[in-house]
Chains A and B, each alone.
Chain A
Amino acid sequence: DVKVTQSSRYLVKRTGEKVFLECVQDMDHENMFWYRQDPGLGLRLIYFSYDVKMKEKGDIPEGYSVSREKKERFSLILESASTNQTSMYLCASSASGTGTGNTIYFGEGSWLTVV
């Protein structure tokens, strides 16, 4: 069974803390994504990566950075957490191309509360 695993389901952090959200996929996918989801705003892309050490900014990259040192792992970093980063964070992965059967897989989400 295919899997995208997010290391932490629920986190509570203090303002100013450095926060790491980890994501691992076991499907040898080239592409990995980080989204955040907020009520009324839907899913918004923060960053994505199409290969090891490669990254592209999404729609809302401010306040975030990412790291992809290995193909299976994509980390989202909040250098100095702020209360407006309280949200649910979703990791996803996919193979390149959109041929039949190519599917985007999502993790279960990480609920981050910054106090």
Chain B
Amino acid sequence: DAKTTQPPSMDCAEGRAANLPCNHSTISGNEYVYWYRQIHSQGPQYIIHGLKNNETNEMASLIITEDRKSSTLILPHATLRDTAVYYCIVRVSNFGNEKLTFGTGTRLTIIP
């Protein structure tokens, strides 16, 4: 399974865009990139996922490089409630062998 690498921590000023990188250089063709976040003492919350095209939803944008070896999660206008640990996950899905490989996570702190 592909492993992911994320910086352990980042700060971002409130109202600015937060850009969280993830390296997944060993990703294979059938693996998706998922992003989750976890606020203290709660279960992880889904943010966005993609295969090779860039994706956007109401929470964030996901930019995946053309070679798929890395991606960036963008929170366009960070608020204090975005302070959390963000996980980049590479997911393989074959019937009977679905696995989730979690990265180490990035602790994002939004600064007022």
Contacts and interface: CB of A to CB of B under 8 A. Distances in A.
Contact of B95 (A4, A50, A56, A111): A50
Interface residues of B, number: 24
Interface stretch (A12-20, A62-70, A71-79, A102-110): A102-110
Contacts, number: 56
A38 to B, nearest CB: 12
Interface stretch (B21-29, B73-81, B97-105): B97-105
A45 interface: yes
What is the size category of the interface that chain A forms with chain B?
Answer: 20 to 34
A103 B46 contact: yes
A50 B95 CA distance: 8
Interface of B: 32, 34, 36, 41-46, 49, 51, 87, 91, 93, 95-100, 102-105
Interface of A: 4, 31, 33, 42-43, 45, 48, 50-51, 54, 56, 90, 92, 94, 96-98, 103-109, 111
